[in-house]
Amino acid sequence: MTKQQKRYFGTDGIRGRVGDGVITPEFVLKLGWAIGRVFSQEGRSKVLIGKDTRISGYMFESALQAGLSAAGADVYLLGPMPTPAIAYLTRTFHAQAGIVISASHNPYHDNGIKFFSGDGSKLSDEIEFKIEAMMDEPLVTVDSALLGKAHRVDDAAGRYIEFCKSTVPSKVNFSNLKIVVDCAHGATYHIAPDVLKELGAEVITMGAEPDGLNINQNCGSTEPRLLQAAVLEHQADLGLALDGDGDRLIMVDHQGTLVDGDEILFIIAKAQQRLGTGKTDIVGTLMTNLGMEHALQNHGMNLHRANVGDRYVIEIMRKTEANVGGEASGHIICLDKTTTGDGIVAALQVLAEIQQTETSLQELASLVTKYPQRLINVRIKKSIDLANNAKVLAAVKSAEDKLADEGRVLLRASGTEPVIRVMVEGRDASLTNQLAIELADVIESLDTV
């Protein structure tokens, strides 16, 4: 029996270029109605809507609001707020669902809609299929007396700031830290600097002047070069780079060196171990650096690898009862603190460890020796069965034998483009590079047969 495929939902909601495909006002209006109908089947529902700072957010907020109201659902408008804030507020408002209008780290011309259930987690497959089925029904407006009402939540930012501060011990403050924070001209622009200031830090703010078009533009977690320069210029202790919707974090130490999600995940796991609050099981992804896995093993912890995507990381975290998990890209999930990836909360855990151990970010990250990694994207014209192709399997085995236990090979098909991703990781950079090229050549030769 083949698994049912979703028509609209990807691994993290619905996303695309504004005006193309389903990212249109008409579709989003109907989507709001469908969500309202699904969540109102057991009585009148309450749905929160938040967004990042891209210009199309206003248009889609209005469309969602109209659709939800037509279905009889009450709407609470949060304005520009980080994705994890919407997950948190959905729980605390006892809402049936939370909606985020955001395309995360993508440029301004993209947008998307993602969702949280009442407990602040991603929607189940069952609910997503129900919403998709409802999209096929004619849009029927409820009686005027039953239309949903709209409410503007004026204190949403303050509520979330207080929550973020509560995730570090009350006796910890950052009064001796100078921090540069890059908000990517995104949803954290009025949140992250205030959290750090209220915890005592000296804060230099970047990327906090959104104009609807500059979100993620040459800034944030995907473009941290300006942050690295600013940390050196201001002689800061460290820098934080968030992405457009605030669920990713990349850090920079006092020498301008990047500290990525793998290293941040290790630091938080090690801090919890030191405090006696951690678990031995930590969750990463197929792309998590082997050096990080070995660092965890050296400190008595085990790495479980999930498929790429925070949805899959959280799945494995729940199965293994892990406290922390994440991706090299900076999605860090602290399930003992919140229900989804949260860049600000992750940063605070690292800052608290810096303060409590009186060490620098550089020293904490130095416990991870990352292995050289070579990634080659091979564009293909036809599908290749990587799991069953004899030539591919032989080439992979040969590469793994040469790496022995000091490296690994990963081949995976992209889910969004006709590309096979060839990744080789090993202690020896020259061998790693050579093996990646040889494997890419094997894939290319198959595509021409």
User: What CATH number matches the domain at 14-154, 3.30.230.10, 2.40.160.60, 3.40.50.970, 3.40.120.10?
Assistant: 3.40.120.10
Find tokens 């990042």 and name the residue. 52
Q: Mean pLDDT over residues 128-154, rounded?
A: 96
Percent of the chain with pLDDT over 70: 98
Flag whether pLDDT at 157 surpasses 80: yes
Distance CA 242, CA 341 (A): 12
Q: pLDDT digit string (tens) for 403-443?
A: 988 899 999 887 667 889 999 999 999 999 999 999 999 99
pLDDT digits (tens, 9 = 90+) for 45-86: 999 999 999 999 999 999 999 999 999 999 999 999 999 999
Q: What is the dihedral of CA 218, 223, 227, 232, to 10 degrees?
A: -110
Phi, psi for 262 (deg, rounded to 5): -60, -45
Instruction: Annotate 248-301 with three-state secondary structure.
Output: EEEEEECCCCEECHHHHHHHHHHHHHHHCCCCCEEEEECCCCHHHHHHHHHCCC
433 contacts: CB under 8 Å, gap ≥ 6: 372, 374, 424
Quote the pLDDT of residue 6: 87
Q: Could you tell me the two tokens for 32?
A: 């709001």
Token pair recorded at residue 226: 């300006």
Pairing of strands 202-206, 238-242: unpaired
- What's the token pair of residue 293? 């896995």
| Helix, coil or strand: residue 71 | coil
- Alpha carbon 334 to chain centroid distance? 12
Enumerate the β-bridge partners of residue 425.
373, 408
Residue 30: name the closest of 94, 123, 113 by CA: 113
Question: Which is catalytic among the residues 40, 45, 102, 104?
Answer: 104
Query: Can you read off the two tokens belonging to residue 385?
Result: 């069965």
Give the pLDDT confidence score for residue 415 in this predicted structure.
66
Q: Is the pLDDT of residue 392 over 70?
A: yes
Whole-number pLDDT of residue 416: 63
| Domains 14-154 and 260-370 alike in fold | yes
Instruction: Tell me the percentage of the chain whose pLDDT exceeds 90.
Output: 88
Residue carrying the six token digits 């949060």: 78
Top-ranked range on mean pLDDT: pick from 2-6, 140-144, 401-405, 407-411: 140-144
- pLDDT at position 308: 86
pTM: 0.92
At 345 the pLDDT is 98
pLDDT of residue 152 exceeding 90, the answer is yes
Average pLDDT over residues 119-145: 95
Average pLDDT for 129-142: 96
Q: Is the pLDDT of residue 87 over 50?
A: yes
Q: What is the mean pLDDT of the chain?
A: 94
User: In degrees, to the nearest 5, what angle opens at C-alpha 129 toward C-alphas 123 and 135?
Assistant: 110
Q: How far is the C-alpha of 243 from the C-alpha of 312, rounded, in Å?
A: 20
Is residue 449 predicted with pLDDT exceeding 80? no
Q: Where are the domains of the chain?
A: 14-154, 172-258, 260-370, 373-448
Answer yes or no: 166 catalytic: no
Q: pLDDT tens digits for 248-282?
A: 999 999 999 999 999 999 999 999 999 999 899 99
* Nearest CA-CA partner of 261 in 292, 305, 306, 229: 292
Residue 143 has, within 13 A of its CA and on its CB side, a CA count of 2
| Residue of higher predicted confidence among 211 and 414 | 211
| β 74-80/150-152 pair status | parallel
pLDDT of residue 44: 84
Q: Say how far apart CA 383 and CA 24 lie, in whole Å.
A: 31
Mean pLDDT of 365-374: 95
Residue found by looking up tokens 């406290």 in the block = 323
**What pLDDT score does 446 carry?**
86
Structure tokens at 342: 């949260």
Identify the CATH number of the domain defined by range 373-448. 3.30.310.50
Task: Name the CATH superfamily housing domain 260-370.
Answer: Alpha-D-Glucose-1,6-Bisphosphate, subunit A, domain 3 (3.40.120.10)
Give the per-residue pLDDT at 203.
98
Contact (Cβ atoms closer than 8 angstroms) between residue 63 and residue 93: no
Contact 37, 71 (CB under 8 A): yes
pLDDT reported for residue 447? 67
Identify the CATH homologous superfamily for domain 172-258.
Answer: Alpha-D-Glucose-1,6-Bisphosphate, subunit A, domain 3 (3.40.120.10)
Distance separating alpha carbons of residues 60 and 47, to the nearest angstrom: 15
Mean pLDDT of the 99-115 span: 96
Token output for 22 = 């389903």
List, as one string, the DSSP characters of 34-57.
HHHHHHTTTS--EEEEEE-S-TTH
Q: Is the pLDDT of residue 367 over 90?
A: yes
- Per DSSP, helices labelled H in 321-420 are 343-357, 361-365, 390-403
* 1: pLDDT strictly greater than 50: no
